[in-house]
Chains A and B, each alone.
Chain A
Amino acid sequence: MLWAVATILFLMFRLMPTNPLAAYIDPTFTEEQQQLLMAKFGLDRPLWEQYFIYLKNLLQGELGDSFFYRQPVGERVLELLPNTLVLTFSSLIVAYLFGIIVGAWLAWKRDSVAERATIPLVLTTRAMPEFWLGMLLLAVFSFTLGWFPAGGTRSPGSEYDGYLALYTSRDFLSHLVLPALTLAIYSQGLPLLLMRSNMLEVMNEDFVTMARIKGLSNWTVVVRHAARNALLPVMTSFAIAVGYQIQGNVVVETVFSWPGLGRELVNAVSASDYPLAQGAFLMIAVVVVLMNLLADLLYSLLDPRVSHA
């Protein structure tokens, strides 16, 4: 799977009309110097040989050096991954908590005015370009009201020892609010709609009716039986949503100058820093694939019909 993605990536990067070294080569370089550079990056060899070297390097976690940073790509990408993961998970946790609770509540309030009004509203949040939503929040809460900082992960000049110290600092959290909120507003629609429709379906199941005939409390009926069952598909969608979110982060990270994988990909592509772009892309693909696997695993853990077959 990842191999297929890596191959497609290789072909894309190598078969493109532009010289992959265009950005690296100074116009003042002599022909000889250019040849030397080509040799250094292995670009003078036949394509198939390049391909096998590429695969071999990938397997060893060797992603090449960034043209721009003159630093190993693997190192750079791993440095940025935590920032992206923190942003993704914090926004998704907020989105899922909100979506699950409101979705269940809407199913409970079936056919009420609130329910009728909420569905189009939720669809509207799904229809918003994430970066535009980010721009609105930025303009209102940062520039106009001045409540939150405008971008980045920390105030200029501040230093932290390691990720943990940074991520638990007040400074970081105030930087996190707007980008995480942007992503959360966009993402809550999926769990909300899923939860709602699952709840509506589960509420008609015989075991929910039986729970009522047993005279169990409303809480037990609605939460412990109906919601617990309706939650199964929603929880698996979480892992898949992480995968989608990581790629969706590209635009939001750009709007909020958030030093993550997505923004790095955009910058690398703009600067024709191909090894870095390739590395960032692969990292994103790895997360997507891993999250899909996790979704399957999660489902089998949550559903005894699968785990106790």
Chain B
Amino acid sequence: MELQLHTFGRISEITGQSILAVQACSDVSAVREWLEATYPLIRKVPYQVAVNRKIVKENVQLHPNDELAVLPPFAGG
């Protein structure tokens, strides 16, 4: 199962792109592990994950066509 992951702000800076293809992740925890293993700098950023445009705090099972987003906080004003 390949899922699309949209990144924002500091996360996009670290990954170098704003859309990533994520392979073989059955739940949100697996996505977090894959992200942090592939881009270790992300571990320092307090990001949240949204599934189908809902910010989720618990570990949610993923399904084909789910839309993932990784949201870091913004400071600027």
- Are A and B bound to each other? no
The residues of A with any CB-CB pair to B shorter than 8 Å are none
The residues of B with any CB-CB pair to A shorter than 8 Å are none
